[in-house]
Each structure stands twice: as C-alpha cells, then as structure tokens.
C-alpha cells in the first residue's frame, strides 16, 4: 500500500484524531453517526494525489429498537484524519421491487476498491427479517461515495452467508469474503474473482465454531483474523487466529483482551491498517451494541498491539490519539478522581483491584460526587465502574454539573463478570463545579463506581 509523506498540511489536512471509546460520535452537522457494523477505508485514488481522505459506511439503525427494515447505507467522509465526519447521504438506497427493498436486512456493509476496473465494490449481509435468506449482496459504483448500484444477492458458492467481512491483501490485491455459514456453525473464507464481485472458491473453512463479525489485518507476512463468538447484539470475548496465508493453516485462537472484559463491551466490526510515514498502526473498530435500542449503540476505536512474538492485544484506554500521517499513537493524559480519595464518601471495598481499593456502591439514593479543581473547558469523563448484572442489561447514568443536568447520558452495560469498564460522558467543566453522578434506573444489581478519569478535549 502506498504511503505519502505530507509536506504541507493544506495537502493532507490536520492529521491527529483523539478517540474516546464508546462516546456518541456526531457528524459535522451535529447528528449522531449511524454507521454500525461498518467499515472505514482510505480513498486510494485521493491518496495518489496527496490527499488523505477516509470514508465510513455502515448500518443506519436510527429508528431501530430491533429490526425496522433497511434504511440505506450511509456514507461519511473525513478529510482531517478521522477527526470530523461529513455526512454525504446514502451510498446504497433501498430499492422497491429488488432484494434490497425497505423490508430487507442489510448488515455489515464493506467496501473494496478494485484497481483493475477503477471501481468500488460494496459487499453486505443480505437477509430478510427472520434471517432465513442468509445471502450476501454486492453493489458497485464508479465513485467511492456512491451511489452504488445493486448487482445481486446470492449464496456464495451455494453456501449460506450471515455475518461477513471482506479483506483485500495489499501486497497481492487478492480479495476475500469471510462469512459465517451453515447456520453459523462454520466460518468460511472464499477468494473473490478479479472484479471483486463474486466468489471463486472456498480456501478455508473453520468448522463447528459459531463465530461472527470477521475482520483481517496483515502484519509483515502474518494474517490476523479477528472474530467474535456468536451471541446476538451483545459483546463477547473476541478472539483472533493467525496464518501465513488466507488459505491457512490457521492457528488456534487467542483472546484479544481478558475474557471477563468482553472486549471492553464491544464486538468487532472492521480493523483498520494505518500505514504512516513512521509506523503502521492497526485499529480495532468495534460496535458497542445496545440490542434493545440499536440506535443508541456506539463505537469503540482501540489500538491493536502486536508484540515481538506476534501476540496481539487490544489496548484498553479511555482516550488516545492517532496521527494518521505518521501512524503514531499515544494514550492521552487524564486526571483521576477515585472513590477512595474523599473521606466524605461512603465507600465499600471494590471487588477487583481498583485504585485505592474503594468504590461507591450505587443504589437509587447514592451518588458519586466530586468538586472539579482543574481547568475550565470541554472534557470527556470516563466513569470507571463494575456492574454485575444479567447479560445485556443496561442502566443510565444521570450526571449534573453545578446542578444542571448533562444531556445524553450514556448507558452502562452489564459486564456479567466483574471487570472495571468505562462509560464516557462529554461535559463542560469550570473550576469549582460540583459534579454528581447517579443511576437513573437502578434495578437492584451491584454497580460500583470506582472513580472517574477526566480527559481534556
Ligand atoms: C449478531 C451479528 C449481527 C446481527 C445480529 C442479529 O449480533 O453479529 O451482525 O446479525 O446477530 O441478531
């Protein structure tokens, strides 16, 4: 893959982006980005003329509590290293009388650039509302943002296809469809034809695995295939396998993060390769689903680290920055306020090794309160908590600053096992402000707040 060193910022735009995992991202018009199960790709044609442009495609779940029909595949564009996203409209629109009508299920859209035809090819999971169809759909466009023209929906090489991803090897330009098949029991890898519009042969089949949400990166000559165990719209402990060829043999799986962290409450959607002038960085792009309210699902961007022995780990952080020109990334600094710090709080011992060993046990009448003594301005507050509730249950945090409610309070999801998770809350603080965190819909389950980490935006 070519890499262009930016000689002037006007050519390449601002390059650095700060990610605060699981915040609600908005586009440049202030609307929440609806591009779940998506893909983010760099425009190689723009890169050839020195511009760094990124496009994000995904599912629009804005009206979905569960299934609510196909609303189209939105497309967003970033010229500033993924720091801001312009909404460009629908790349693929529902079309009456075709398999992508508004009663279709269209999930996990992915886009490839086919250099031979100078054409963009979109692949997606195509289904009906009871998931009985189990096909892939393919659409093409001469421009990256679309509109894409639907070609067909089909069973790849006669097999069912549910969750899927695509991967284009940057060294050979060979492209692959990775798809869950046989009622999810098996995960197959199929080589695409040289137009990228069809499959030619299954080159590997993982049997009896029940895996979903595949994504691939290549580090030196090793392929890493990331998948999630099947469990509906819910986080699971995502895993990866390695191989020196897409046709295997593939290694046994390893977990990306501690089992009980459930991939920091996310599910893989796509994995980005940032080829910078100084280093190559791999970015995990996951969904934090809320299965009961799909529209309030958020996104999780985290760095993937690979050590000298080839072990890959998802780096857990509440905030980090990435320079897409150099490929360099770093954790952002923050101020911690722990439950243990204030003698005026009623605390309990925390059930893991939280800082200071104390936490506030939240009920409908307890709060976690502190007075901010840092700088004035916009912040992201990452609430550090454990929540041992039932699988896939959500609670809302209520936050006030100086007695005024902060809008858009995030959901905190059950972690089932005890593991400190983070819930991000954007807010504006001034020195001396009292911040009060409460639970809006406590259900009797154990919720411990161990502290907050405050990042300066
Ligand atoms: C899993 C898959 C999603 C979607 C849902 C439907 O979560 O990963 O892409 O198909 O199941 O329940």
Atom of ligand 1 nearest to the CA of 228: 8
Residue 292: beta bridge partners?
Answer: none
Q: Once rounded to an integer, what is the mean pLDDT over residues 21-28?
A: 93
Q: Give me the pLDDT at residue 408, please.
A: 80
Quick count: other Cβ atoms within 10 Å of Cβ 15? Answer: 20
CB 327 within 8 A of CB 278: yes
Q: Give me the pLDDT at residue 7, please.
A: 40
Atom of ligand 1 nearest to the CA of 162: 10
Q: Give me the pLDDT at residue 334, please.
A: 97
* Sheet architecture: strand order including 199-206: 164-168, 175-181, 186-192, 199-206
Q: Give me the pLDDT at residue 1, please.
A: 34
CA of 36 to the centre of ligand 1 (A): 11
Q: Once rounded to an integer, what is the mean pLDDT over residues 405-427?
A: 89
Report the alpha-carbon distance of residue 72 to residue 246 in Å, rounded.
31
Lowest mean pLDDT among 149-163, 194-208, 406-420: 406-420
Confirm or reject: Cβ of 213 under 6 Å from ligand 1.
yes
Q: Single out the residue of 216, 90, 86, 91 nearest to residue 148, CA to CA.
A: 91
Confirm or reject: Cβ of 233 under 6 Å from ligand 1.
yes
Say whether pLDDT at 169 is over 90. Answer: yes
Instruction: List CB contacts of 277: < 8 A, sequence separation 6 or more.
Output: 3, 5, 6, 325, 326, 327
Choice between 44 and 35, residue whose per-residue pLDDT is larger = 35
Mutate to test the pocket of ligand 1, among 232, 236, 269 (most ligand atoms within 8 A of CB): 232
If pLDDT is split at 50, 70 and 90, which confidence band does 130 have? very high
Lowest mean pLDDT among 15-24, 279-288, 296-305: 15-24
Label residues 211-220 b or e (16+ Cβ within 10 Å = b).
Answer: bbbbbbbbee
Say whether pLDDT at 5 is over 80. Answer: no
What DSSP string describes 37-83?
Answer: EEEEEE-HHHHHTT---EEEEEE--TT-SS------EEEEEESSTTS
Peptide bond into 287 cis (omega under 30): no
All domains of the chain, ordered by start, with CATH?
Answer: 17-331 (2.115.10.20), 334-456 (2.60.120.260)
Q: Give me the pLDDT at residue 4, please.
A: 38
Choice between 294 and 218, residue whose per-residue pLDDT is larger = 218
Say whether pLDDT at 272 is over 80. Answer: yes
Lowest mean pLDDT among 65-69, 129-133, 354-358, 425-429: 65-69
Average pLDDT score, the chain: 92
Residues belonging to the chain:
457
Give 216's DSSP letter. Answer: E
Q: Report residue 209 as tokens.
A: 């695995």
**pLDDT, tens digit (0-9, with 9 covering 90-100), for 372-400:** 999 999 999 999 999 988 878 889 999 99
Say whether pLDDT at 88 is over 80. Answer: yes
**pLDDT, tens digit (0-9, with 9 covering 90-100), for 336-385:** 999 988 766 788 888 777 888 899 999 999 999 999 999 999 999 999 99
H or E element at residue 124? strand 119-127
Q: Give me the pLDDT at residue 65, please.
A: 64
What DSSP string describes 332-343?
Answer: PP-EEEEGGG-T
Per residue, the 3-state secondary structure of 125-193, as one string, reads EEECCCCCCCEEEEEEECCCCCCCEEEEEECHHHCCCCCEEEEECCCCCCEEEEEEECCCCEEEEEEEC
Report the alpha-carbon distance of residue 25 to residue 38 in Å, rounded.
14
Q: Once rounded to an integer, what is the mean pLDDT over residues 31-37?
A: 96
Report the alpha-carbon distance of residue 55 to residue 65 in Å, rounded.
26
Q: Single out the residue of 67, 96, 80 nearest to residue 10, CA to CA.
A: 80
Atom of ligand 1 nearest to the CA of 127: 10
Say whether pLDDT at 68 is over 80. Answer: no
Peptide bond into 147 cis (omega under 30): yes
What percent of the chain is predicted at pLDDT more than 90?
Answer: 81
Among protein residues, the one with the nearest Cα to ligand 1's atom 9 is: 163
Q: Give me the pLDDT at residue 9, please.
A: 39
Q: Give me the pLDDT at residue 410, please.
A: 84
Confirm or reject: Cβ of 79 under 6 Å from ligand 1.
no
Mutate to test the pocket of ligand 1, among 233, 238, 288 (most ligand atoms within 8 A of CB): 233
Q: Give me the pLDDT at residue 14, please.
A: 54
Q: Give me the pLDDT at residue 66, please.
A: 59
Per residue, the 3-state secondary structure of 238-286, as one string, reads CEEEEECCCCCCCCCCEECCCHHHHHHHCEEEEEEEEECCCCEEEEEEE
Among protein residues, the one with the nearest Cα to ligand 1's atom 1 is: 232
């Amino acid at each position: 893959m070519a890499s262009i060193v930016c000689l002037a910022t006007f050519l390449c735009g601002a390059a650095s982006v700060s990610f605060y995992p699981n915040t609600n991202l908005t586009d440049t018009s202030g609307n929440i980005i609806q591009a779940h199960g998506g893909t983010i790709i760099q425009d190689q044609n723009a890169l050839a003329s020195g511009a760094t442009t990124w496009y994000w495609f995904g599912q629009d779940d804005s009206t979905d509590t569960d299934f609510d029909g196909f609303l189209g595949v939105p497309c967003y564009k970033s010229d500033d290293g993924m720091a801001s996203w312009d909404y460009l409209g629908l790349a693929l629109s529902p079309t009456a009388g075709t398999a992508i009508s508004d009663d279709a299920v269209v999930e996990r859209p992915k886009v490839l650039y086919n250099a031979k035809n100078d054409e963009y090819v979109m692949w997606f999971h195509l289904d009906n509302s009871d998931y009985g169809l189990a096909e892939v759909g393919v659409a093409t466009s001469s421009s990256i943002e679309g509109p894409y023209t639907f070609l067909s929906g089909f069973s790849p090489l006669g097999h069912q296809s549910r969750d899927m991803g695509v991967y284009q090897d940057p060294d050979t330009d060979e492209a692959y469809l990775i798809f869950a098949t046989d009622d999810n029991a098996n995960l197959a890898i199929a080589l695409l034809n040289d137009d990228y519009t069809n499959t030619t042969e299954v080159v590997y089949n993982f049997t009896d695995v029940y895996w979903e949400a595949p994504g691939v990166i290549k580090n030196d000559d090793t392929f890493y295939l990331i998948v999630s165990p099947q469990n509906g719209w819910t986080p699971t402990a995502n895993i990866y396998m390695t191989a020196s060829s897409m046709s295997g043999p593939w290694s046994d799986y390893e977990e990306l993060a501690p089992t009980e962290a459930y991939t920091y409450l996310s599910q893989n959607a796509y994995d980005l390769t940032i080829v910078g002038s100084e280093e190559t960085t791999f970015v995990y792009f996951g969904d934090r689903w809320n299965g009961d309210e799909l529209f309030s699902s958020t996104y999780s961007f985290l760095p993937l680290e690979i050590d000298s022995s080839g072990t890959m780990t998802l780096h857990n952080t509440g905030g980090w920055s990435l320079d897409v020109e150099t490929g360099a990334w770093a954790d952002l600094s923050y101020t911690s306020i722990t439950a243990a710090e204030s003698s005026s709080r009623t605390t309990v011992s925390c059930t893991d090794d939280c800082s200071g060993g104390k936490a506030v046990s939240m009920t409908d009448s307890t709060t976690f309160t502190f007075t901010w003594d840092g700088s004035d301005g916009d912040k992201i507050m990452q609430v550090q908590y454990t929540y041992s509730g039932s699988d896939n249950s959500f609670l809302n945090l209520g936050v006030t600053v100086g007695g005024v409610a902060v809008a858009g309070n995030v959901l905190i999801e059950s972690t089932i096992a005890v593991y400190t998770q983070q819930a991000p809350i954007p807010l504006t603080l001034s020195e001396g402000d009292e911040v009060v965190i409460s639970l809006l819909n406590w259900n009797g389950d154990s919720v411990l707040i161990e502290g907050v980490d405050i990042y300066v935006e």
